[in-house]
Amino acid sequence: MKRIAFLLKVKEDKIEEYKEHHRHVWPEMQAALRQTGWHNYSLFMRDDGLLFGYFETPVSLAAAQAGMEKEEINTKWQEFMAPYFESPDGARPDQMLVELTEVFHLDE
């Protein structure tokens, strides 16, 4: 499995609302993520809205994104979530992921 880490930025005035939506992620969206290879997916947020995401996938971020691109529920979720993110060019949240380079990993 490849470990993927990424950053996004949630608008500061939307943080609490964003968190509430993620307490109730649509079951269809969760199923689509699982089916397209998003495993052990977690989101972490700093107080200022900087969001760190982590998941594991069999191939790559690009392959995981390509799988989700085919899922109709993903389009609906991304459009629903778009107003919560700082996006200078109007891109959907799933098109703005800044993948981080792994520099260290400690196995058990």
Identify the active-site residue in 21, 22, 24, 39: 22
Contact assessment for residue 5 and residue 41, using Cβ atoms and an 8 Å cutoff: no
- Give the residue among 53, 60, 71, 70 at the shortest CA–CA distance from 37: 60
For residue 87, give the H/E element and its range: none
> How many whole angstroms separate alpha carbon 6 and alpha carbon 99?
4
> Is 22 marked active-site?
yes
Contact assessment for residue 12 and residue 4, using Cβ atoms and an 8 Å cutoff: no
Q: What's the CA angle centered on 35, arms 34 and 38, to 5 degrees?
A: 40
Enzyme catalytic residues: 22
